[in-house]
Structure 1
Amino acid sequence: MVYVGETSRSLKECAKEHEADVRLRKDKPITENCNGAGHRGQDMGISVLTQIRDSSRYFRLIKESEFIKKFETQSPNGLNTKNQLNVLLRKII
């Protein structure tokens, strides 16, 4: 299963947070998948899809949304349960 996410933090910070979430069995889709039958936290891999120099969260959310669509990671096909760009746009409108 694949999850697409955006962040302004370092990859190292995000990886440690995801690893801790799995270890502590936090209520998150990535945790449920990694702790599910036939999986272990060590099975989790992280890849950088793109690096964006623009510091705008809105721009990062647009790119995240594009990758979610491209790789079809929206649940039930993947681990993305909501599109953060849509959430942000609803707040603005």
Structure 2
Amino acid sequence: MRSPSPSNGLREYTQVQEELKPFAKKLYALAARLERELKKPQDIEWAAADGKLFILQARPVTTLRTGNLDTYEWNDSLDGDFL
């Protein structure tokens, strides 16, 4: 299985989607578990091979900001337990 590129066409893209469908429910469950246990949304790298799902790494999502991009105000107290 490989990632489709524009030159591979829609048919191959659809085939890859079908091959990955069996992993969707398990991947969702693992992502929810990681977020619950690590207490933050996770950016997850994963792979599928030989009918198995592998979590390669997970790290906190860093693009969720507690600042106001319109005013440039920043309030880290919205991001955790602060006095």
TM-score relative to the length of structure 2: 0.27
Structure with greater strand share of residues: 2
Structure with greater helix share of residues: 1
Considering Cα pairs closer than 8 Å and 6+ residues apart, tell me whether 1 or 2 has the greater RCO: 1
